[in-house]
Chain A
Amino acid sequence: MYAEAFECAPVALLLVRTGGVIEHANHEAERLFGYEPGTLDGRHVDLLVPARFRTQHGALMDAFHRHPETRTMGAGRELYGVRSDGRELRIEVGLTRLDRPEGGHLIMASVVDLSARLRDDERFRAAFEAAPNAMILVDAAGRIVLVNGQTEALFGYDRGELLGEPIELLVPQDMRARHPAFVKVYTAAPVPRPMGSGRDLHGQRKDGTLVPIEVGLRPLRGPDGDYVISSVVDISERVQARERLMQRNEELEQFAYRTSHDLRAPLVTMKGLAEFIGEDAARGANDEVVANAARVVHLADRMLHLVEGILALARSDYANEPAAEVDVGALVEAARENLGGALRAAGVSLVYVPAHRRPLLGQPTRVTQILENLISNGIKYADPAKAERHVVVRTFSGPHQFHLQVEDNGLGIPAERHGQVFAIFTRFHADRGPGSGLGLYLVRQHVLKLGGTIEFESSPAGTTFHVTVPFRLRTSPLPKAG
C-alpha cells in the first residue's frame, strides 16, 4: 500500500542510492522528466542534471550522504533539471534520508516543477512593463518594489533610483508629510478606486517640476504580503485642453452678451426713429422725416459693420489659406482705396515706408485683415486737435522675423486701459465713429495664427502697433485664445 502511494503521489519522487544510482522513480518523476515507465530505474541521477552542473552535483551529493538531514536542496540557488528531450526545468528539490532495514540508506528526492509558477510571474512582469500607463507596485510599508518604463519616463528617474524608496519620493513636496496617512487609510480598506477623487493630483518629477496626474489604485495580495498597484496617467494635455476650453467658453459667453447688446442698441434706436418718422410724417414735418431717415440708414450701416466683423471673426477661426509672399505695399495701396472716404473725412495722410529686405510670408487674407484693421483704427482715432494727422506703415526685416509697424499720431489709448487692448469688444473712444470692438481682437487672432507677436506703445502723442511674423511659418496648433 505504501508502495502504491509512492507510485501515485502527485509529486515527482526519486529514490537514490549512495553513489547516485536511481533505485526507483515514481510515475510523476518519469512524466516530469519525460521517460517511459521503468526506464529511469538503475540510471545515474546525473542524467536529470544539466551537464554544466554535473561535476558540482557529484560533490554536493557526496556531502549530503555524509551528513544527511532532511532539507531543501541548493537553498538560495536556482536549481535546474533536464528532461529527456533536453529541455531544462526550474525545479525545487526536497531531500530526505531513508534508512534501509538491511543497513545503509537511500535518499528520497521530491522534485517540484517551478516553471508554471515562474511563467506566471514573468507574464505579470511583462504585462506590468508593457502597460500603457506608468505602473508602480508598492509594498505594505509604502516602498516601491516594481516600476515600469513609463514610470521612468514620466518621473525622470531610472528604476534603480526608485526601487526600495518610499512612494513619497514621487509626491509633491507639500503633500509628502500627509501622504503616508492616506496610504494607511487605503491599506485599511483596499478596494480598486481612483486616488484623491475630487482633488487635483500632481506628481513630482526628479527635476522638481510638478505634473498633473490621475492615479488608479488596486490592491494585490501576494504570497508574501499585500501590495498596492498604482497606475499613473499624465493628464497635462487634458488639463491644458480644459483650460483652453474654459477660456474659449468665457469668451463665447462675453461674445454672445456683447453681440446681443451691440445689435440690440441700434435696433432700439431705429425703432424710436421709425416712430418719430411716423409722427412727423403725419404732421407734415418733412425735414424731420428726412433727417431721421438718414439716421436710420446710418445706424443700419453700423449694424452691418458689426455683422461683417462677426463674420470675419468666424472665418478667422477656419481660414486655411496656404501661405504666400505678401506684397505689403500693394496692401497699403488697397487700404488707401478702401478707406479713402474715411482718410479724407478725418484729414489723415497714409504713408508707406518700406525698409524690408526679405518679403513677408503669410496667409494673404490674414495679413490684409491685420493691416486694414490697424490702419482704419489709426484713422478712426485721429486726434482732431492735431494740425497734421497721419498713419505711417513701416516694414523692416530682422534675422528671423518680418516687422510690420503701424504708427499714428491720434488720441492714444488711455493708460489705464492698456491691459484690455486686445480683449474682445473693447472700445476706448466709444462714441467715435462706427466700430464693433472686434478689430484688435481679430488682429491679434490673425497674428497668433501666423505664429507672430503683436505689441503696442501708446501715449496722447499717438499709438504704434508692432507686429512680427516669423519668416519660417510654423503650422502652430491652436493658439491660446485671449
Chain B
Amino acid sequence: MDKTVLIIDDDEDFVYLTRRHLQRLGGIGEVVHAIDGQAALDWFRECLADRPARRLPDLALVDINMPGMGGLEFLPRLAELFDGNGVVVPPPTFLMATSSDLPCDRAAAESSGLVTGYLTKPLDMAEVARVLAESKG
C-alpha cells in the first residue's frame, strides 16, 4: 500500500523539495503539509475522529523552530492526544528534520519518546527512504 508522509515545517522551499524527493522514491501515496505544530495537532485530531476511514501517516518529518508551535512543544502534546484516544495502532514514525544541531534540542526531542531519528537539514534522502521502508506501511 502507498505510504503517507506528513511534513511539519514552515519553510515552503523545504516542503517543496522534500515532496519532490519523496515522489522520486516511489511508493508514496500522499504528502501532507502542516505549517506548524498546531496545524499538525489539528490534522491528527481530525484523523483520529474519522478513523478508520482516515489513516495516520506512516512517517512524519518534524521541524523544531517554527513561528507558531515548534516541534518540541508539539511532540508531548501529540503524545497526550494519542494517550487520550487510546491509540494502539502502530503510531507513525517520527523523524526530526531541523537545522538545529544543538545538543539540548536533540535531547529534548529524544525525551518525547516518539522520535526514532534526528536529521539535520539538508536531509539525507537515502536515510529518509530507509526509515520510510521500515515504517508500518
Q: Do A and B associate with each other?
A: yes
**Chain A residues at the B interface, C-beta cutoff of 8 Å:** 261, 264-265, 268-269, 272-273, 276, 295, 298, 384, 416, 428-432
| CB within 8 Å for A430 and B65 given contacts A265-B121, A265-B122, A268-B122 | yes
Within 8 A of A (CB), among B90-122: 98-101, 104, 120-122
| CB within 8 Å for A431 and B63 given contacts A265-B121, A268-B122, A269-B122 | yes
Of the listed residues B21, B101, B121, the one surrounded by the most CB atoms of chain A closer than 10 A to its CB is B121
Interchain CA distance A429-B101 in the complex, whole Å: 13
Q: What are some 7 contacts across the A-B interface (CB < 8 A)?
A: A261-B101, A261-B120, A295-B16, A430-B65, A431-B63, A431-B99, A432-B67
Interchain CA distance A431-B99 in the complex, whole Å: 8
Q: Does B28 contact A (CB under 8 A)?
A: no
B13 with A269: CB separation less than 8 A: yes
Interchain CA distance A296-B16 in the complex, whole Å: 13
Interchain CA distance A416-B16 in the complex, whole Å: 32
User: Residue of A at shortest CB range from B120?
Assistant: A261
A272 with B99: CB separation less than 8 A: no
Chain B residue contacts of A268, Cβ below 8 A: 122
A295 → chain B closest CB, angstroms: 6
**Interface class of chain B by DSSP:** loop
The one of B10, B21, B101, B120 that contacts A431, using a Cβ cutoff of 8 Å: B10
| CB within 8 Å for A272 and B21 given contacts A265-B121, A429-B65, A430-B65 | yes
Interchain CA distance A230-B66 in the complex, whole Å: 64
Interchain CA distance A428-B70 in the complex, whole Å: 12
The one of B13, B67, B121 that contacts A429, using a Cβ cutoff of 8 Å: B67
**What class of interface size applies to chain B in its complex with A?**
20 to 34
Interchain CA distance A428-B10 in the complex, whole Å: 15
B24 → chain A closest CB, angstroms: 9
Q: Does B55 contact A (CB under 8 A)?
A: no
Interchain CA distance A429-B63 in the complex, whole Å: 12
User: Residue of B at shortest CB range from A429?
Assistant: B65
Of the listed residues A272, A276, A298, A429, the one surrounded by the most CB atoms of chain B closer than 10 A to its CB is A272
| CB within 8 Å for A431 and B11 given contacts A265-B121, A268-B122, A269-B122 | yes
A269 with B99: CB separation less than 8 A: no
B99 with A295: CB separation less than 8 A: no
Q: Does B45 contact A (CB under 8 A)?
A: no
Q: Which A-B residue pairs are the 10 nearest by beta carbons? A: A268-B122, A430-B65, A430-B99, A431-B11, A265-B122, A269-B122, A431-B65, A272-B17, A295-B13, A431-B10
Within 8 A of A (CB), among B12-43: 13, 16-17, 20-21
Chain A residue contacts of B10, Cβ below 8 A: 431
Chain A residue contacts of B101, Cβ below 8 A: 261
Chain A residue contacts of B121, Cβ below 8 A: 265
Chain A residue contacts of B21, Cβ below 8 A: 272
A265 → chain B closest CB, angstroms: 5
The one of B17, B100, B120 that contacts A273, using a Cβ cutoff of 8 Å: B17
The one of B20, B100, B122 that contacts A430, using a Cβ cutoff of 8 Å: B100
User: Residue of B at shortest CB range from A268?
Assistant: B122
B66 with A431: CB separation less than 8 A: yes
Chain B residue contacts of A264, Cβ below 8 A: 122
Chain B residue contacts of A432, Cβ below 8 A: 67
B107 → chain A closest CB, angstroms: 12
A281 → chain B closest CB, angstroms: 14
Interchain CA distance A276-B17 in the complex, whole Å: 9
Chain B residue contacts of A298, Cβ below 8 A: 13
Chain A residue contacts of B13, Cβ below 8 A: 269, 295, 298
Chain B residue contacts of A295, Cβ below 8 A: 13, 16
Chain B residue contacts of A272, Cβ below 8 A: 17, 20-21, 122
| CB within 8 Å for A265 and B20 given contacts A384-B67, A429-B65, A431-B66 | no
The one of B16, B63, B99 that contacts A265, using a Cβ cutoff of 8 Å: B99
Interchain CA distance A416-B103 in the complex, whole Å: 13
Of the listed residues A416, A429, A430, A431, the one surrounded by the most CB atoms of chain B closer than 10 A to its CB is A431
Chain B residue contacts of A429, Cβ below 8 A: 65, 67
Within 8 A of A (CB), among B115-133: 120-122
Interchain CA distance A273-B18 in the complex, whole Å: 11
A215 → chain B closest CB, angstroms: 41
User: Residue of A at shortest CB range from B68?
Assistant: A385
Of the listed residues B9, B11, B99, the one surrounded by the most CB atoms of chain A closer than 10 A to its CB is B99
A276 with B20: CB separation less than 8 A: yes
